[in-house]
Amino acid sequence: MPVKESLSELAQLADTAGLFVVGQTFQRRDRPNRATYIGTGKLVEMKSLMSEKNVDIVLFDDELLPRHQRELERGFGEDLRILDRTALILDIFAMHASTREGKLQVELAQLEYRLPRLTKMWTHLARQAGGRAGGAGGGVGLRGPGETQLEVDRREIGRRISVLKTELESVRAHRSRYRAKRRQTELQVVAIVGYTNSGKSTLLNHLSNADILSADMLFATLDPTTRRITMPGGREVLFTDTVGFIQKLPPNIVAAFRATLEEIAEADMLIHVVDATHEHAAAQIESVDDILAELEVDHLPTIIALNKTDLLPQDRQPEKSLPVNGVAVPISALTGQGVESLLLAVEAVMEQQFQPITVMLPYSRGDLMSLFHERGQVNEERHLPEGTEISGRIPHRLISLFDNYLRVKDMAG
């Protein structure tokens, strides 16, 4: 993604966080300045620009090393806050987390991000201590109350981090029990993925009349929401809405939101929602594909939903100009146009995940019997003295439940 586009996305993120952007600038360098990240001249230039405009915060589009952050704070002066993309994204996550797990995840990610960056405190206190010892900037006077306070802060954060980790573990254990229970219902799962703001929540809303927060903000949804949807053919399927992807999603955030993203790994297939009206839709598709590969879920069958086509001229065919391979369905999640075709395409994929089997179920296994009828397709049923012989097709994920009763395993599927 080109610099300008990345910066305008950063501006949109800033806007989502409630900041007002007064200006943007960038610099081309082979490598960051060792001390101040940007060049010294650039720093001076920015500083004078900012004092004109009464700026409170300087946002960097890339993740800053703690060292750069410290030097930039020195360079720009105490009154300015230096933030990078990661800190901003974490702030937005903190604003939007709504479940207990989401909140714990964000706090943990924030503290882990902050721990090596307790720099403002450091320079501030170091100067105090230095002043007290009578030497400006010397190392001698640094040992004092300032450092003690910093050590206390560090230890406190360290303790809080380990408390959070323990809590998260217990929340996750609970969740995987819940997921195991859900697996017993054995519904097929479709995960809705896509770049942030592409219309994932709007689509799930439309499908389920669920009232999921949908807003023109980046990251309006943080926690996965799952809904049971009846397909055109009558079958029930679970659809789950996921956190939006974004380019330069910091790796520690991907790690922090592993649990959210785990929902994706458990899905039978994906719907990749694309904002087909976006100027950089192609780059967004690639970012999402990259993250899916990173999460090792790129093997899942995927249907692309080219969304917001209500905003496109009638004759424009977005699939012609975008890097989509495989099935792509133009839709409008807002008006519902094309959504039926999307569901039919989903059904077709799910159909392929059915496998032919023949089982002999003893009369004591009425549960499996009704499962076969509800979730599979029965072709033939024979009532014999020792039980019922059923042949037909069932979703791949159910096969293992019938392991003990397989009569003929038809390998054709």
Is 197 near Mg ion (CB under 5 A)?
A: no
* 332 contact choice in ligand GDP, Mg ion, none (CB below 5 to 8 Å, kind-dependent): ligand GDP
Among 102, 130, 199, 376, binds ligand GDP (CB under 6 A): 199
Q: Is 284 in the site for ligand GDP (CB under 6 A)?
A: no
Q: Which of these segments, 23-31, 48-56, 208-216, 312-320, binds ligand GDP (CB under 6 A)?
A: 208-216
Q: Which does 215 bind (CB under 5 to 8 A by kind): ligand GDP, Mg ion, none?
A: ligand GDP
Tell me which of Mg ion, ligand GDP, none is bound by residue 282, counting a contact when its beta carbon lies within the kind-specific cut-off of 5 to 8 angstroms: none
Tell me the CB-side half-sphere exposure of residue 332, using CA atoms within 13 A: 12
Q: Does 16 bind ligand GDP (CB under 6 A)?
A: no
Q: Quick one: residue 199, left, alpha or beta (phi over 0 = left, psi -120 to 50 = alpha)?
A: left
- Which tokens go with 28? 């081309």
If one asks whether residue 198 binds ligand GDP (CB under 6 A), the answer comes out as: yes
How would you list the strands of the sheet with 328-330, edge to edge?
225-230, 236-241, 188-194, 269-275, 302-307, 328-330
Q: Smallest distance from the beta carbon of 221 to Mg ion, in angstroms?
A: 3
Q: How far apart are CA 187 and CA 184, in angstroms?
A: 8
Cross-strand bridge partners of residue 228:
238
CA 16 to CA 11: how far, in whole Å? 9
Of 221 and 247, the one with the shorter C-beta distance to Mg ion is 221
> Is the Cβ of residue 274 or residue 369 nearer to ligand GDP in the bound state?
274
Contact call for residue 221 and Mg ion (CB under 5 A)? yes
Sign of the dihedral defined by the CA atoms of residues 251, 255, 261, 267, in that order:
positive
Contact 286, 245 (CB under 8 A): no
Residue with smaller CB distance to ligand GDP, 316 or 373: 316
Question: What percentage of the chain's residues is helix, strand, coil (to nearest 5)?
Answer: 50, 20, 30
Is residue 260 at the binding interface for ligand GDP, with CB under 6 A as the rule? no
Task: Tell me how far, at minimum, the Cβ of 412 lies from Mg ion, in Å.
Answer: 40
Q: Does 220 bind ligand GDP (CB under 6 A)?
A: yes
| Site residues, Mg ion (CB under 5 A) | 200-201, 221
